[in-house]
Amino acid sequence: MLDSGNVDVGALVGHIDRLARRAAPPLPVADALRAVLPDGLPRGSTVAVHGSVSLLLALLGAASREGAWSALVAMPPMSVEAALEYGVDPARLAVVPDPGAEWTTAVSVLIDALDLVVVRPPATLPGVLGRRLSARARSKDAVLLTYLGGAGLAHWPGADVALTATTIGWTGVGDPDGHGRLRGRQVKLSASGRGRHAPPRTTHCWLPAPLGRGIDSISPPSPEVTRLDDRRAG
C-alpha cells in the first residue's frame, strides 16, 4: 500500500505535466514545407526565419486552419489578403504592432496564452532575454517564430531550427522589356538547426504561388522564371 505522505506531490504534478507536453502533437505545416520541417512545428520549439514575411505566413497558415491561435508582434505591415492566401484565420490572430518598452513582457504574455507567437525582435535585444523567451516557449508548449534580418536582430540565440528563403526568380515579368505583373516567386528553402534539426535540408517551392495560392511545392527550379539579377546585369 502506498504511503501518500512519502509522495512529493509537486514533483508528481510536474512529471505529469511534462508527459502531457511530450505527448502534444506538433503543429502542422504546409505540404511544401515538409521537406525542411518533416516533423511539423514541434511544440516548445523556436524557429528563426531569415528575411521572408511570406515564409512566416506560410508557417502560420496550416496551423491556423487546424484551429491554432497566433500573434504577430512588432512585424512590418501586411495585408489581410496576403494572410488569407496562406490560410491564416484573422479571427484567431492577435496583432501587436508596437509593444514599446514592454516588448519582452508582451511576448511572454502571448507565449503563455497562444500556440504560435511571431516576433520581430529589436536589434538591441540582449541574448539572455532571447534565450529566456525560448525557454518560456519550451515550458508553455508554444512555438516561437522569430523574424530576423533587415534593421532588426540578425541572430536568435538558442533557436532550434533556422529557415532561410533565397529567391530564384519570378514569373510574370515579360521579356525583353521587363514589363508585366509579378505573379509567383520560386525560392530555395534551407533549414539547419540542432538536435533532430541538425541535418541541413533544402527544397524548392513557390512562395507565393501564382494565382494567389499561397505556398506550393515545385520540383527543380522551372526555366520559365525570370532571374531578376540576370536582367539587371544585362
Distance from C-alpha of 138 to C-alpha of 117, rounded to nearest angstrom: 12
pLDDT score of 27 more than 80: yes
Distances from the Cα of 9 to the Cαs of 4, 5, 12, 18, 105, in angstroms? 9, 9, 5, 14, 30
Residue pLDDT, tens place only, 187-203:
999 999 887 767 889 99
Q: How far is CA 122 from CA 64, 96, 109, 177, in A?
A: 26, 14, 18, 40
**Is residue 143 left, alpha or beta, with left meaning phi > 0 and alpha meaning psi from -120 to 50?**
beta
| Amino acid 170: pLDDT | 78
How many helices (H) and strands (E) are present in the chain, helices listed first? 6, 9
Domain ranges of the chain: 25-233
- Which pLDDT score, from 0 to 100, does residue 183 have? 72
More confident residue, 111 or 214: 111
Cα dist from 112 to 6, 11, 124, 219, whole Å = 32, 21, 24, 39
**pLDDT score, position 82:** 84
| The three three-digit cell numbers of residue 10, written as one number | 509537486
Handedness of CA 132, 134, 140, 142 (dihedral sign): positive
CB 84 within 8 A of CB 60: no
> Is 63 a residue whose pLDDT tops 50?
yes
pLDDT for res 168 = 87
Helix or strand (DSSP H, E) at 57: helix 53-65
Q: Is the pLDDT of residue 138 over 60?
A: yes
Most confident of 45-49, 80-84, 124-128, 184-188: 45-49
Q: What whole-number percentage of the chain has pLDDT above 90?
A: 52
pLDDT at 126 over 80: yes
What's the confidence (pLDDT) of residue 72? 95
Least confident segment among 14-18, 161-165, 191-195, 206-210? 14-18
- What are the pLDDT digits (tens) for 86-110? 999 999 999 999 998 889 999 999 9
Rounded to whole angstroms, the Cα distance separating 147 from 228 reads: 24
> pLDDT-derived band of residue 180, with 50, 70 and 90 as boundaries?
low
- Tell me how far apart the alpha carbons of residues 94 and 90 are, in angstroms, rounded to a whole number: 8
Which carries the bigger pLDDT value, residue 118 or residue 20? 118
Question: Given this structure, which CATH class describes domain 25-233?
Answer: alpha beta
Q: How many Cα atoms sit within 13 Å of 77 on the Cβ side?
A: 1
> Is residue 219 predicted with pLDDT exceeding 70?
no
**What integer best gives the mean pLDDT of the chain?**
81
